[in-house]
């Protein structure tokens, strides 16, 4: 299968028709719920390889955006993500999950952080980063693990 702007990943095709998070059909769920989710291995890593491969430029902040130095993690815009899956293998620390249903429970607060952040909006940056800070405080055991090994310690 060729990757391109309208490619849909096999993982996305395998998702249930109903969204577990909201109990509504997934195509409606997509309007309100995060698609792909960046989780804690990205904290203070911000490699941005995912930004480079995203065909719709929906991962922020980019290195050339003013918020880049202010954030501890990158965020995926929930409505702009087209579920192509290109960012998942690009991430060197395996931080990206293909949706809320597959994101480990320990990472739940980061689903909301991804859903809140909007590039260029200081308010949403502050709210999203507060969630990330709370996640860091709640999971010292994960933060003690080097980012490259952290995803393997995520539990469902
Ligand atoms: Fe961008 Fe990843 Fe969404 Fe594809 S799956 S559109 S690469 S954020």
The pair phi, psi for residue 60, each rounded to 5°, is -140, 160
CATH topology of domain 10-151: Alpha-Beta Plaits (3.30.70)
pLDDT digits over 99-149, tens only? 988 999 999 999 999 999 999 999 999 999 999 999 999 999 999 999 999
Q: Is 91 in the pocket of ligand 1 (CB under 6 A)?
A: no
**What number does the ligand 1 atom closest to the CA of 80 have?**
6
Over residues 48-93, the pLDDT tens digits come to: 999 999 999 999 999 999 999 999 999 999 889 999 999 999 999 9
Task: Please indicate whether residue 58, judged by its CB atom, sits closer than 6 Å to ligand 1.
Answer: yes
Domain range summary for the chain, segments of one domain joined by + = 10-151
pTM over cut 0.85: no
CA distances (Å), origin 114, targets 22, 53, 59, 101: 17, 18, 10, 14
Ligand 1 midpoint to CA 82 (Å): 6
């Amino acid at each position: 299968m060729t990757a391109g702007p309208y490619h849909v990943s096999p993982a996305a095709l395998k998702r249930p028709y109903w969204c577990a998070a909201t109990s509504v059909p997934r195509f409606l769920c997509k309007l309100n719920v995060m698609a792909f989710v960046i989780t804690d291995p990205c904290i203070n890593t911000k490699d941005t390889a995912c930004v480079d491969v995203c065909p719709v430029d929906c991962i922020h902040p980019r290195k050339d955006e003013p918020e880049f130095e202010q954030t501890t993690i990158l965020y995926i815009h929930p409505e702009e993500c087209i579920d192509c899956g290109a960012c998942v293998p690009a991430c060197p620390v395996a931080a990206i999950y293909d949706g809320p249903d597959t994101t480990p429970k320990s990472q739940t607060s980061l689903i909301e952080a991804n859903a809140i952040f909007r590039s260029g909006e200081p308010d949403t940056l502050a709210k999203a980063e507060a969630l990330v800070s709370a996640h860091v405080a709640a999971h010292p055991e994960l933060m003690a693990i080097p980012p490259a090994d952290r995803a393997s310690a995520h539990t469902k």
